[in-house]
Each structure stands twice: as C-alpha cells, then as structure tokens.
Structure 1
Amino acid sequence: MRAYRSLVGQRGVPRLVVAATVTRLATPVLNLSLLLAVVAATGSYATAGLVLTGFSVALAVCTPVIGRLLDRLHPRPVLLALLAVHLPAYALIVGAMLRHAPPAVLVGGAVVLGASAPPAAPLVRSTWSAIVPGEHLGTAFALDAVLTEVTVVAAMPVVAGLVALASPLSAVLAAGACTLVGALMLLTIPDLGSHGRDGDQRHDGGGRGGGGVLGPLAHGQVRVLLGIAACDMTAFGCMFVGISAVAAHAGESGMSGVLLGVYSLGALVSALAYGSRRRDARPRRQLAVLHAVSVAFLLTTSLTSALLVAGALLLAVGLVSGPRDTLHQLVLGDAAPIRQRTEAFAWMSTFMWIGNGAGTALAGHLVTWADGRHHTSFLAAAVASGLATLLSLLLRRATERGEPAQDAPPREDPVAPGARPGQRSTVDG
C-alpha cells in the first residue's frame, strides 16, 4: 500500500477523497430513497418511475453543460450557483411530497433537482491531474474507482437504516446533506478545476475552454472512449438484470444482492491492487485485453444456472472490471484536451447513464422473452463488452494514425500510466 500512502500524503488529496466519497454517496442514496418516498407519498410506482426518469434525464443532459461551465469559468462560483438552485429544489420536492402535491409538481421538482446537481465526480476526476504528480495518477484513478464502487454498495444499507429508523423522506434529506457537505468541501480544495500541474497545453483546443460547440466531442479519441463507457454500462445493466434472473430461477431471489456484492468485492480488490503498482504496459492495449477477458467470463456465466458457479464467475468479472475502469479514466483524462477535461468526464457520466438505462431495459425485455431465464441477458452483456473490445482496438489504431495519446512510444524513459507525454518517471518495482 506504499503507493496509496504516498498519494494521500500529497497536498489536498485527503480533502478531495473525503469530498468525493460524500458527494458520490448522495446520488445512489437519492435514487433509492426518492423512489421509496414518492411511493409512500402517492402510493403509485408509476409516479415514482416518472419522478426518477425526470431526475435522471435532467442529470444526464445538464451534466456536460455544467462541465463546460466549470472548465470555462472558475469552479467555485459555478458550484455556489448550482447549490443556490439545488438546495431549494430539495425543499420543493420534499414539501410537495408532504403536501401530497400532484405528480406534475413532483416530476418538475425532480427535473430541477437533476438539472442543478453539482457534477462532483467529473470535477474530482479532472482535479486529480492538478494536485497529483503524473506518476501517482494511476493510483489516484484506482482509488477513484474504488470510491465509486464503495458508495454504490454502501447506499443500500444507509437508505435501509434511515427508512427503518425514520422515514424515506429522511433518507432524501440525508442525500441533500451529503451533496451540500461534499460540495462545500470541494470549495476548499486549492487547485480545484485547475488544468494540470505542469501547464501542459497538449491539444488544448485553442485556449481556455476552446474547441467550439462540440468541445471535447470534437476529438475522435474522446468519442471512442465515451462509446466504450456506454458499452461497459450497457453490459453492467444487462448483468444486473441477469443476476436477479439467475437468483430467481434458482428459487433464491434474495441471493441477487449477495451475487452483486461478490461482483463489487472483486472490483474493489482488483482496483486497489492495480493502483498499488506502476506498470509499463500501454493502457490502451490493456484496455482491449481486459474487455476481451470480460467477454469470455460473461459468455461462460450465460451457460450456467448454478448459483455457486455464477458467483465465482461474477467475482472474476469484478476482478477484471476494477483495473478496466481505472484504465478507462486514465486514458480519457489523457486523451481529452487539457482545458476541457471536466466536460469530458461529465460526458462520460452521461454516456454511462445512457448505457446503464439501455442495458437494463434491453435485458428486461430479453429475460421476459426467455421466460425468466438469465442466459439472454448475460449474452447481451457479452455482446456489449465485445463491442467495447472492438472500440478499444479502434482507439489503438487511431493512436497509430498520429492522434495525441498517453501511450505513444516514448523516446527515452517509459511514460507511466497517467503521466503526460514529456513527463518522465521511474518505474516502481
């Protein structure tokens, strides 16, 4: 764990880690608690579904727009402006549920809530490059992936505990408190939203926040990486439904949470292990190999109905996904124009939301068509991972055609994962 001790010793990192943890806990807690709170207030799952859809769509659409503002303007006034809208939106939707307001009011409040949500995850990811030297970026992004996984897993018991002790509305308020505390902590980070420690102007897009209307989407490397993100989350959405189906088919519906926990455990352990060492191998090549291995495990999972075997295979899929997700962030952070990095990570969040929604919807139809059998959903997950593999290879071919890339062959010293071209480092054994 020497790499993590060295990372945490960097100025501003402890505060950034705490802020990232608190803010990322808010979204999964809000998703689950908002569903329960609306059902409790209206008695309608249909209304709850509309509220969550309004929130999710507004979040997915507005996050890249806010990301561009964070890149072009100073992050602090943007965050404060967002909080000035976001917190009253919480008050609006909570008050509407207490007063049993019409569904349209609840949906409207959810839309404002999603549209004004501070994009903490993209901002944190873009800030890593400002406060962490290049030789520590691999460890930083590995820790970032672990924090994401931990907060998603922790959200379920947090909501369950708050609902049991108080009410679903208390969990909604807790999500708002997490957002407020985390955003205020981000405001104390000295180099929040800065564009790198070394003033690197590589494929800068023409000045602060340049790049025209498309922003980072004008760069082919970024578009391919966003496509990979969508495929990965489509695969996850299919796998999520498949996990529920395989448990139900075995007559152990309650085991779906255990199987998902096994997958998350694998992702946590592998991401931590991957970030603890430096590697010379080119990240894009590793990305293609890891996706191909995911395809093999998902295909094998589609062939089994035994819970024990499925659990072992899902653990293997998780062990692959930890390093893969870390590499994805590293490569995207390096491929994006320096002054459009926050927007690029914001687009990644949007594509992930889209992919997850598409995956769960597709797998739901496939499982229904297959009379509750899980095989089709895991096959669909394998197809999505296969497409991500092909896109990873396309990314390498684009690199060979001369686009700026993190893993271009070095002239002298090897460039470690996460280090920018021209930034040398030694390989840590």
Structure 2
Amino acid sequence: MSGSGFGDLVRARGVLRIIAAQLTARFPSGMLSLGLLFHVEGRTGSYGTAGVVLAALSIGQAVAGPATGRLMGRLGIRPVIVVTTVCCAAAIAAIALFDLPPAGIVGLALAAGLTFPPITSAVRTIYPKLVPASLLGQLFSLDASLQELIWIGGPVLVTFLATGVSTTVALLVSAVLLIGGGAWFAASREVGRVRIPRSKRRFGVVLLRPQVALMTLVGFLVIASCAAIEASVAGAFGEKDPTSGVVLAIWSLASLAGGFVLGRLAMRPWSLALRLTLVAAGAALTPFLPGFWGLTTALVISGFGLAPALGMISAIVSSSVRFSDTAEAYGWTNTGQLVGVALGAALAGQALDHFGAPIAFACGALLAVLSALAAAAGIRVFPDLKGRNAGPVPDTAPIPLPPSAG
C-alpha cells in the first residue's frame, strides 16, 4: 500500500472510526474457536467432541450468512446487527455457565452460529460509501491487514484466560466483548447513513457469478487450512500450555506485516494464486518442524501471504457485483470460509485424537495447497485491478437518449 494511499484513507471521514468499531465487534471471532476448544475438551476430554462443537458454530454461521446479508437490505443494518448480537451472546454465555451434555453444547453452538452478527458483510458493504472508488482496493487491503489484530490479540487473550483463570471466564469475556463491540458498531454514524438497496434478483443468484463462486471456494479452502492449523497448534502444545496462543499470535503478526508490504502491489489476475502459494509453502512445512521455533518459522512464511490474499478476495467480489448484491455476495463468501472453519477444525480434531499433531498439520497443509490451485484455475475470470477501481457495479446507469431531431 503506498504511503499516499494510506494517508488518504486515514484522512477520509469516518474510516478510522468504523474500522475501530468493526474490529472491536469482530474481536470475539479470534477468541471463540480456541475458547470453545479448551472449554469443551476440558469438560469432555475429547478434541473430537470439541471439533464437532466448533463445526456446529461454523455451520450455523454459514447457513445464516447470506440470509442475514439479504436481511440487511430489507430491514436495515442496525436492527439486524442488534438482534443477532444479543441472541449470539446469550447462547455463548449459556455454554459457559451451564454444565451441559455434549448434545446440549452442540445445540447452543449451532444457535450462536445462526445468530452470529454479520459485521463483516455489513462493513465491507459500507466501505464503498466511505472512500472514492480509487481507494477502495487499498481499504480492503488495510482491512484485511488490521483484522489480523483480532487473530493476534484474540488467541493470546483467550489462551491466558482459559489456562490462567478458567475456560468459563474466557467464554464470558468473549460474550461481553461481542455485546460491547456490536453496540459500538451499530451506533456508528456511518452505519446509520448507509442504506443497502433491495436486490431485484432472486436469493442465491449472485452465487452464479464465477468470481463470487470461485472466491467462495478459495475462501473455504484457505480458511479450512487456517482452522486445521490453529487446532493442530493447540493440540500440539496442550490445553494447559499458553505457548499455543503465542505461536498463533506470531502467525497473525506475520499476516499483518504481509498485508502492509504486499498491499501496495497492484492486484493482477494471477496475484491471488501467488499469495496463496506463499501460504501453502509455509503450511507444508508445519508437519516437519515441531516445537515452538519450528512452527513459528513455518507459520511466519505462511502468514505473510494470508492477509494479502484475503484482501484480494474482498476486492474481487466488490468489483464483480452490483452494490445491492454486495452484502449477499459477502455472505456467501463468508459462508464458504465458515464451512471451512467447520471442516478444518473437525478434520484436525479427529486427526489429533487418532493420529497425532503431524497428521493434523498435514491436513491443513493439503487444504492450503488446494486453495492455491483453485485460485490458479480462476485466473481467466478474475479482474485485472491494476489502474482500475475495485468499487461495485452501480445499480443504476444513465439511460441513453436518441439524438434530437433538430
């Protein structure tokens, strides 16, 4: 990202405020996976059961994502955010406070997922209204980079709370942050000023666009890889060792650095595949480099390409659909990523229980390789954003008039 572009973004009215609000509202996303993993494994003694709970949470989010994105165009952003935030926090608090059988925990995790507030879809739909279209690609890169603060602070905070205090407190803190961040985001002036037009297309039609479908697939694979590696790191060090949180924080810090370094580069059709090749290269080293320093080295390599890849996914979606369809389109891409979390966490959980950490890491590496191959397969349909705006297609356009007779 160029210095001038970054300065223009910082000076744009409301950008820093809405970024801070949405990062706070999304911060529990960086806590819940590990928090539930530690809590459920401690209650049941099984990483497999914990993986099923994480899968239920992610499947609920996946099912609800496109629907809540569509609802924001009908009911408004604020009502949807407020109602979902309250319901989701209540389900998480119930998991923390009550001694439930595994089936009850899975049911509440599914409810939390179904009501998880659609902050990501909302804010990425709002961004085109905050900055000129020429700065939008850089804003997506900045957003993808700064969201790594969630994955730096979240795992560290929840790991130290879970290991130093209790897993119940860790989940309750997540619920409190969900409420506080959601309230701040919903109360932001920028949220009140943006109205998403009702889409005139049938629900799901936007997924037929090849760019949206491919970004959904790529996001699914890369986030499945991340979820598998995250669970593998936790399993490799054990629930009582805070080292896992430190390793995951360094991984996210590398992603943050990569976002700022690579975000300044033009987004070409082949850029996504190259960035994901870097992610896959680092992930492929994880089964062979055990211990703190080995895993840290592998994940620094992998993380350097992660935020740039996620930022490009957002830019490709934004530049390929109409504004009225952006919230639903991001809902589908988020759904792909959340299904990826479910698959990756469950796959790694089973591998940890039956085969050990190296095989669990190998599952994550394979998923990362597949994400790079999927991105390479889509080079022909991806937009070339060098010198182009990443803004959505307007819902209205000038109507050509016939030349006057005179």
**TM-score normalised to the size of structure 2?**
0.79
Residue in structure 1 matched with residue 301 of structure 2 by the alignment = 316
1:349-389, Cα deviation, whole Å (9 max, x unpaired): 221122233234445566777x6473x55655454334333
The structure 2 residue matched to 1:395, chosen from 354, 378, 381, is 378
* 2:28 aligned partner: 26
Tell me how far apart the structure 2 counterparts of residues 274 and 340 of structure 1 sit (CA, whole Å).
28
Residue 250 of structure 2 contacts residue 300 of structure 2 at CA under 8 Å; is this kept in 1?
Answer: yes
2:156 corresponds in structure 1 to 157
Q: Does 1:384 align with 2:367?
A: yes
RMSD (CA atoms):
3.7
CA distance, structure 2, for counterparts of residue 300 and residue 38 of structure 1:
29
In 2: Cα distance, 1:65 partner to 1:181 partner: 24
In structure 2, the CA distance between the partners of 1:304 and 1:110, relative to structure 1 (3 Å rule), is: closer
| Matched letter for residue 149 of structure 1 | E
**116-125 vs 139-148, greater mean Cα deviation:** 139-148
Distance 2:41 2:283 in 1: 35
Please list the CA deviations of residues 53-80 of structure 1 after superposition, one character each: whole Å capped at 9, or x if unmatched.
4433322221221111113331122223
1:334 and 2:319 equivalent? Answer: yes
Aligned to 2:170: 171
Q: Post-superposition shift, 1:107?
A: 4.2
Amino acid across the alignment from 1:177: V
Q: 1:271 aligns with which of 248, 259, 267?
A: 259
Task: Tell me how far apart the structure 2 counterparts of residues 307 and 113 of structure 1 sit (CA, whole Å).
Answer: 33
Whole-angstrom distance in 1 between the partners of 2:163 and 2:275: 41
Is the aligned partner of 1:227 residue 2:217? yes
The answer (yes or no) to whether the contact 1:28–1:155 under 8 Å persists in 2 is yes
Counterpart Cα distance in 1 of 2:363 and 2:93: 41
| Percentage of identical aligned residues | 25
How do 1:73-112 and structure 2 match up within 5 A? Answer: 73-83=75-85, 85-89=87-91, 92-93=94-95, 97=98, 100=99, 105-112=104-111
CA contact (8 A) 1:93 1:106 kept: yes
Name the CA distance, whole Å, in 1 between partners of 2:357 and 2:111.
39
In structure 1, stretches of 5+ residues that fail to align are 197-206, 400-404, 423-429
Aligned residues: 388
> Match of 2:61, as an amino acid?
L
Return 178-187 or 77-86, whichever deviates more: 77-86
Shift of 1:27: 2.7
Aligned CA distance change for structure 1 residues 239 and 30 (closer, same or farther; 3 Å): closer
Contact 2:31 2:174 (8 Å CA) reproduced: yes
The 1-side partners of 2:235 and 2:90 are apart by: 40
Q: 1:381 to 1:75 in 2, by over 3 A?
A: same
Change (3 A) 1:158 1:355: same
**SS in structure 1 at match of 2:189:** coil
Change (3 A) 1:171 1:298: closer
Shift of 1:317: 1.8
Letter in 2 for 1:359: G
Amino acid at match of 2:379: R
Q: Corresponding residue for 1:9?
A: 11
Residues 1:64 and 1:311: Cα distance change in structure 2 (over 3 Å): same
Using CA pairs below 8 Å that are at least 6 residues apart, which structure has the higher relative contact order? 2
**Shift in CA distance, 259/209, structure 1 to aligned 2, threshold 3 Å:** same
Query: Which amino acid in the other structure matches residue 190 of structure 1?
Result: R
Deviates more, 1:6-15 or 1:308-317: 308-317
**Amino acid in structure 1 at the alignment position of 2:71:** L
- 2:189 is matched with 190
Report if aligned partners of 1:146, 1:272 keep a CA contact under 8 Å in 2: yes
Task: Identify the match of residue 285 of structure 1 among 261, 270, 278.
Answer: 270
Asked whether the 8 Å contact 2:25–2:184 carries over to 1, the reply is: no
Change (3 A) 1:167 1:296: closer
State the shift of 1:271 in Å. 0.8
Distance 1:109 1:33 in 2: 15
1:127 is aligned to 2:126: yes
Aligned equivalent of 2:403:
none
Question: Counterpart of 1:202?
Answer: none
| Residues 113/234 of structure 1: CA separation in 2 closer, same or farther (3 Å cut) | closer
3-state SS, counterpart of residue 212 of structure 1? coil
Write the mapping of 1:209-248 to structure 2, written as runs, cut at 5 A.
209-240=199-230
- 1:348 is aligned to 333
1:259 and 1:286 mapped to 2: Cα distance?
Answer: 27
CA distance, structure 1, for counterparts of residue 89 and residue 287 of structure 2:
44
Contact 1:71–1:209 at 8 Å: present in 2 too?
Answer: yes
CA distance in 1, matches of 2:287, 2:84: 44
Code of the residue aligned with 2:17 in structure 1: it is R
CA gap of 1:256–1:170, structure 2 versus 1, over 3 A, is closer
Tell me if structure 1 keeps the 8 A contact 2:326–2:392: no
Change (3 A) 1:216 1:240: same
Offset, 1:88? 4.7
What is the CA–CA distance in structure 1 between the aligned matches of 2:227 and 2:379, rounded to whole Å? 26
Selected match of 2:388 from 408, 415, 419: 415
C-alpha deviations, 1:317-365, integer Å up to 9, x for none?
A: 2212232222122112222332121222222222112223323444556
Partner Cα distance (1:102, 1:300) in 2? 38
